[in-house]
Amino acid sequence: MFAILSLALSCKKGSSSSSFPPTDPCLFNGVDTCQQKATLQVNVTATHQTIHSFGASDAWSSKFVGNWADLSKKNQIADYLFSMDVDPSGNPKGIGLSLWRFNIGAGSSEQGDTSGIADEYRREECFQNPDGTYNWNKQQGQQWFMNAAKQRGVKYLLGFAASPPVTMTINARAYGTGTAQFNLSASRFQDYADFLVQVCKHFQGTSTPLDYISPVNEPQWNWGPSNNQEGTAASNTDIASLVKVLGPDLQTNGVNTHVVTGEAGQVTFLNAATSDNRGDQISQWFNPSSSNYIGNIPNVDNTISYHSYFTTCPDNTLVQDRQAVHTSAVNTSSSLQLWMTEFGVLGDICGSLNGYPRNTNIDYGLYVAKVIHNDLAVANTSSWQWWLGINPYNYSDGLVYINGPSGTTDPQLSKTDGLVSDSKQLWCMGNYSRFVRPGMIRVDAVLNNQTDPAYAAGDIMVSAYIDPVGKTLAIVIVNTRTTSSVISLGGLGASVNLTGSDFTAYVTSSTKNLKKSSMAANNIQLDPRSVTTLTANYH
């Protein structure tokens, strides 16, 4: 989530097994596929993970935007993010997110300038007053978007906290000490758990119940005043101890919200040990022999999550880090689900892209699609969640952007009004989120018998998903080539066939945003540098 400036140079450097865009965009598995049709084999009986959701976060802008007087602008943003509606031509109006992340604030907003957080966007209100009472009228802007999400059919709501309330922290601030210390004394674990339970209990009695609660975010970073935002470090033992209090507390209070753990600063912290007890989290929390085991705690979900920052380039790093975490998860618990819960274009991406300044073109959309593909098809994640759903900054980590009323990037003026715009990051994510719905199952998809994901990462990436009840199929194809390509569907495996001979296609490119068309199964046309989603029924 966080530390845009302080972590901006952490991207790994090095040579890649394939480049972005690819050096030789036509050579595929030794065949010049620009000159002949490639064959796609999908096997709907070879199943992998069940998809849970696609989501994004309400931090840090919705506190202001949700209180804008102009309802039409707020609805436009909500439609971009949540809508499953289409225009008269059948083109989607939005990307149909199925999960929305609600940032549970620690109270830095009430502290004002004394909070030590200079950027007002990054301060958050706290539902709990200093005297221990609660004010549920806090965070009204965020609550507006939470309601807008539910009204548009978003299935899941997740509450996440970056810091305990400032009345509980060791330094009376919403940022940590700048060390590996958890900014909460052991004597206050129960207090923090009670606070989170009361938040969940309140929303359970509304039309926006929180399905999940995430109590610690990116604990591997030493959050201090220089980070200019809420956050705290924490060890695996700290988090396990908190969860062992929080889970039973939820159960005792009759709250249905499930605890989700992880939010690791990068994927490698899930399976690689660290000297400070903040790595190897899969084994630490879900291996029954570990003293930090939480797999048997009430209300704890059988998931663990990571953030995809700093491990996306070069392509062999993107693939190998995700292969390794998938292996660790499977070896620890065959039922453990991986979630990717935060991503945005952050820092320098191996000299090809950069978070600063703001870029919203197809290069950035394709990069997002590339990361989504590898998180889903290599790491086998079941949920994929974005960072800033609404962005006022001159930075590339947003889905929807707001400018000042005059059209210039001006976070200060955007607090009360502004102009709304979309991005290719939004629409390329929509090629997945709008069509790969909760409960769908990923199945095998192989193009031209090419099975090396590091090679595909620099060329054409394909993944496929089915709804086995409704007998619907969605295929997402990411074409990083600068030339158009043609694909033919070779079959669905095990005597399974399409119902009809055509796909409904939705294309995002430099000139299209989920543009609807029809494509014959034996003549699938891929635009240069595009993401194409194909949908059909099968029998």
Domains of the chain, CATH where assigned: 27-49+441-537 (2.60.40.1180), 51-433 (3.20.20.80)
* Rounded distance between C-alpha atoms, residue 369 and residue 378, angstroms: 13
Q: Where are the alpha helices (DSSP H) in 116-262?
A: 140-151, 189-204, 236-252
Short-list 110, 138, 64, 77, CA closest to 411: 64
Q: Which residues have C-beta within 8 Å of that of residue 110, sequence separation ≥ 6?
A: 125, 126
**Greatest C-alpha distance within the chain:** 72
- Per-residue model confidence as pLDDT tens for the chain (539 residues): 544 333 222 222 233 333 444 444 455 555 444 547 899 999 999 999 999 999 999 999 999 999 999 999 999 999 999 999 999 999 999 999 999 999 999 999 999 999 999 999 999 999 999 999 999 999 999 999 999 999 999 999 999 999 999 999 999 999 999 999 999 999 999 999 999 999 999 999 999 999 999 999 999 999 999 999 999 999 999 999 999 999 999 999 999 999 999 999 999 999 999 999 999 999 999 999 999 999 999 999 999 999 999 999 999 999 999 999 999 999 999 999 999 999 999 999 999 999 999 999 999 999 999 999 999 999 999 999 999 999 999 999 999 999 999 999 999 999 999 999 999 999 999 999 999 999 999 999 999 999 999 999 999 999 999 999 999 999 999 999 999 999 999 999 988 999 999 999 999 999 999 999 999 999 999 999 999 999 999 99
How do strand 156-161 and strand 212-214 relate by DSSP bridges? parallel
* Rounded distance between C-alpha atoms, residue 414 and residue 196, angstroms: 31
* Residue 348 in tokens: 């320098």
Q: Model-level pTM?
A: 0.94
